[in-house]
Amino acid sequence: MDRSIQINTFNRFTQVSRETIESLKKYEKNLIYASKSLNLIGKSTIKDIWNRHFLDSAQVIDFIDKNDKSLLDLGSGAGFPGLVLAILAKDRKIPLKIRLLEKSPKKINFLKKIIGELDLKVETTNQNILIEPIKFDEQVLVARAFKPLDVILELIHKNPNNWKKLFIFLGKSGKSELLQASKSWDIQYKQRVSITSDDSLVIEINGLKKK
């Protein structure tokens, strides 16, 4: 898809300001440059950043409100979805405290560079949560291209703090993953078809209990 069409599509869905579009263009430029040396995004998606990464990440913002005070992105990678959500929260004046969790020091440095250039109030934590467990008390949790569903659920179950919403992006195998997970877990969730792919899902979990 042509880049200008992608940007127009993104703008139509998100209704952000011109300033926010410019911020995302800076993000895009840095992402393309850094991807030459870092494994940030797949090469096949370089020309489809606005749709495959920006818009895909942004779709969660509509389900975050001003009562949600904090958000943790599990395995942020190149900043998806956490950094995109930070940019949109700033645009919408949602006072959301965001933290990006990432195990790679090089990716953390990339995230810090974008945070600085775009003047975002975002924290970063350089840690592998599966090896070095951390306590978190954020109300909203997000996971995109992080780990299989059963691994994420077990991780959240071990940290039963005050989270209210857990958004997980699921690909083509999402429905079967949910079916399999339901054998071991009682999951209270809402299921939405991704706006960028009819084969993908975004689930919002509001309650989780082991059977």
Cα 31–Cα 11–Cα 140 angle in degrees, nearest 5: 70
Predicted confidence at residue 159, as pLDDT, reads 80
146-161 pLDDT, tens digit per residue, is: 999 999 999 999 886 7
Both tokens assigned to 161: 């703090």
List, in order of start, the domains of the chain with CATH numbers. Answer: 58-210 (3.40.50.150)
pLDDT tens-digit profile of 44-68?
899 999 999 999 999 999 999 888 9
Tens digit of each residue's pLDDT (9 = 90 or more) over 130-188: 888 888 899 999 999 999 999 999 999 988 678 999 999 999 988 999 999 999 999 99
C-alpha to C-alpha distance for 94 and 43, rounded to whole angstroms = 33
pTM higher than 0.85? yes
